[in-house]
Chains A and B, each alone.
Chain A
Amino acid sequence: MEVIKEKCPISGADIYIYTLSTGIKCYIIPKSGFKTAMAMAVVKFGSGSHTFKQNGVVTEIPSGTAHFIEHKLFDKKDKSIFTELSKNGASVNAFTDFAKTAYYFSCSSGFYNNLRLLMDIIKEPYFDESGVENEKSIIKSEINMYKDIPERAVFSNLTKLMYPNSPLGSEIAGSEKTIEKITPEILYACYNAFYTPENISVICCGDIEPEKAALIVKETPLSASGAESIKENIISNKLNDFVSKRFDVSEPVFNIGFNHEGFEICPENTYALKMIFDILSGEGSKLYERLLNKQILTQPLGFSLICAPGAVFSVISGRSSKPAYAANSFIKTSSLLKSTGVGEAAVKRIKKMYAGHIIRGYNSIEAVLNAQADLAVQGFCLADAENAIAGITSDKINSLASLAFSRSNAYLSVIK
């Protein structure tokens, strides 16, 4: 097993990166003194992938398939691995986003046995007709639950607006209509296409022995045969940049989306973008204070950067009686920043804050695992992220600020 040990410059943590002969990449972050140990298997297959090619034939995937596999992969012919892990006192769960599906557990004892069970989840599927049919009603209930959550609905409307007729414009869980199309055959075909070793990373964190964990992952044979991947090329909507829907909310909920065309995905750019947001409209910004005092906002705005297959976009979320005013104020402040630039003092302060966030994150095994999962899909590790934060300069921030948040790449979704 080939192993590289990296040192994280801010947190001081060590990270062991194993490239296994099977092709799986394994990231181990030892944390002594903690009773919690966690592992996560991350598969580079999310709702943003909608086609694959096998033996020259292009197959289109119904939306919601990646999420459906996430639900069904716990069930094997004669047992449920979900129940097996629960019986061991492990807490187990999974999630799907645009770029990945992740399966994980946390436990206080029996880590290595539980890791074997985690690998059993992804190693071989069992999709039968009745199990698939039963799962459809559960997933329909999940889809309906999301429809009643304003924050989910506003985001869903935003992605539909920004990327119509693309997998990003569909719900991660699919719709009642699309999941009806899902059959055991489709699930097997997608599993075989995407659950290949080169698409899988396993991340472990806790008071564990790196090599022992890596060996367990190495022992797991995967049955997927693989397929030729098709590069997603998603084109953003140029005709319409505003959507508003009626709901039963006490105050409008909004998402401002920014399509970052040509954005190079790397920790340096990701953190620089997050820092620009914080400088512009974070809790220490003059803009936030002004919007509070004008009663346009009552709580801080949220920010997330989404790196999906074929598109990178950021989302600023909040609640306001005047969402368009809040959005325009943000864009206006951003354009002012382009001309004035960001001062050294502000960058230094924000970098200090991010260093604090990194240090705080190391108190949580789950936070470490999730951070590494996002990075693993992009081919990076936590040490890369910490190096990037340490190396960000005001020049970097200013160069990115001129492209990041402008009227031309902005979209607004509102739920009233």
Chain B
Amino acid sequence: MSNLRTFQISEGINLHCLKDDKFTTNCITFFIRTELNPQTAAKAALLCRVLKSGCSEYPSVSLFNRHLQELYGCTMDLFTFKKDCRLVLCLNLTFPNKTILLPKAFAAAGNTLLSPKSFLNKFMEADFSNAVYAQSKAIRALKDSKMQYALFRLYEEMCHDAEADDVSRSFGVSADGSLKELSLVTPSSLYSYYSSLITAEPIDVYCVGPAGGDELKACFDKIPFMDTARKKYSPMGRLKGTNTQFRIVNETNSFTALNQSILCMGYTFSQGSVYACEVLNEILNSPSGLLFNTIRQKEGLCYSISSNIFHNAKVLSLCCLTDSKNTQKAAELIKDCIKKSASCTEEQLKIAKENLRAKYSLLSDSQQETTGFLFTCRLNSILPDTEEYISNINSVTESDIASVISALKEQVIYILN
């Protein structure tokens, strides 16, 4: 990724261009970073829905989407997501590499972000009402995806203590916001949030595809972002794990019992590089990893088992779908797998590193994944270079893994029945 060019458009607005001729499309992604708390989550998610309902040039959903269809089916996604303890608003456009489309796609992005339908510093009532309705459905729908819900509840349980610090509290917030916070938003308060977001938060724009940096910058310069002083964020903090005592939470699905239980386990840890964490997760989680081989293949206890490490927050979570009578056995086996990974064999370490090498060397074949990698590196102040990343992964030793494991603290076991 040595050909990454970054243009500082103004203080807090940066355009990053990675030219790659093998792609048939250009992929442009705007990331607007902001604080994550229950209020901002509800507002930012709602804002995405309002902005998608049209803009001053294409003032309805059908007109706007027909315009995108004319741009060879240019896809446009606008959503929020949680990046560890931070909230990010993301606008992504992908369209075929045709000269005529580049300025039009940038114009569509600019119109969406900067020319929403509004009147007297308020969003239009009808658009706002539809967005609130849709967002309330989305918030309620979290419960419909049982695995996602169980993991959300796990994180909530890990972070909800009153004494929790800001970082811990943020980690437990849903990017969709809550119904309570949603009910407090009005067309004018949302507009005021929008105005401060678009003028005060840092914006990073990534372009990956055949278009060149100068060409992209010329198009970007036509978007009239205000040249204002934007916020600066410090690197992301660590989840402290506020629970002084380990606890088990058993919950029953509200309407009908599930056909099998969802077992989630949450740990915090205090040390270990991002590379050691990745290798540890791979030893546990890969299709040839300890969890899959032990709990699924050898014991036949489940079909689905996975682990996830959030390096910045220093959280390890595990999730296993198993018959309710097997949850205790599965939990014990998972603990055993974690213990075993501290003394992993050379072969296990080698396979984990090889899998990660393959993963990172293949990143450059996907515009979205390349964009995600570049943005993550920027957030973590890491050089955006996959070769160096792979080399650092290769340097991880068994004792690095053992060191992460030795600092693990079991926080919560959450079971949804």
Q: Which residues of A contact B (CB under 8 A)?
A: 11, 31-36, 82-83, 86-92, 106-109, 134-135, 137-139, 141-142, 144-145, 147-150, 246-251, 253, 282-286, 288-289, 292-293, 295, 298-299, 319, 349-350, 352-357, 359-360, 362-365
Contact = CB atoms under 8 A, between A and B. Distances in A.
A394 to B, nearest CB: 16
Contacts of B260: 141, 144-145, 148
A86 B355 contact: yes
Contacts of A363: 23-25, 366-367
Contacts of A360: 24-25, 73, 75, 94, 96
28 contacts: A35-B362, A35-B365, A83-B288, A86-B355, A108-B357, A141-B260, A141-B301, A141-B302, A142-B303, A144-B321, A145-B259, A148-B146, A246-B255, A247-B256, A248-B144, A250-B143, A251-B140, A282-B65, A283-B65, A284-B65, A298-B133, A319-B137, A355-B72, A356-B72, A359-B24, A363-B23, A363-B25, A363-B366
Interface string B4-27: 000000000000000001111100
Interface residues of B, number: 64
B138 A138 contact: no
Nearest to A283: B65
Given A248-B143, A248-B253, A349-B66, A141 B21 contact: no
Nearest to A137: B300
A248 B362 CA distance: 40
Given A298-B138, A356-B96, A288 B61 contact: yes
B323 interface: yes
Contact of B259 (A32, A91, A144, A289): A144
B30 interface: no
Nearest to B258: A148
B99 interface: no
B357 A89 contact: yes
A138 B303 contact: yes
A250 B254 CA distance: 11
Contacts of A353: 69, 72-73
Contact of A141 (B23, B69, B303): B303
A35 B24 CA distance: 16
B299 to A, nearest CB: 9
B358 interface: yes
A249 B362 CA distance: 38
A142 to B, nearest CB: 4
A298 B49 CA distance: 10
Given A33-B21, A87-B354, A88-B354, 18 more contacts: A33-B22, A87-B288, A90-B358, A108-B362, A109-B358, A134-B300, A137-B301, A138-B296, A141-B301, A145-B304, A247-B255, A248-B255, A282-B65, A319-B137, A350-B69, A352-B69, A353-B73, A364-B366
A298 B134 contact: yes
B24 A352 contact: no
B75 to A, nearest CB: 7
A403 B22 CA distance: 42
Contact of A289 (B21, B23, B61, B288): B61
A293 B141 CA distance: 20
Given A90-B358, A91-B358, A288-B62, A145 B365 contact: no
A249 B144 contact: yes
Report the 7 A-B pairs with minimum CB-CB distance, sorted nearest first.
A356-B72, A356-B73, A33-B22, A248-B255, A353-B73, A250-B140, A298-B134
Nearest to B134: A298
B321 to A, nearest CB: 5
Contacts of B22: 31-34
A293 to B, nearest CB: 6
A55 to B, nearest CB: 35
B287 interface: yes
Contacts of B164: none
A349 to B, nearest CB: 5
Nearest to B146: A148
Most buried by A among B74, B253, B354: B354
Contacts of A284: 62, 65-66, 68-69
Contacts of A90: 358
B358 A107 contact: yes
A359 B69 contact: no
A49 to B, nearest CB: 23
B243 interface: no
A403 to B, nearest CB: 25
Interface in B259-312: 259-260, 286-288, 296-297, 300-304
A357 B144 contact: no
A360 B97 CA distance: 9
Contacts of A298: 130, 133-134, 137-138
B317 interface: no
Contacts of A88: 354
A89 B358 contact: yes
B361 interface: yes
A82 B287 contact: yes
Contacts of A253: 144
Contacts of A134: 300
A299 B255 contact: no
B24 A292 contact: no
Nearest to B143: A250
A285 B366 CA distance: 31
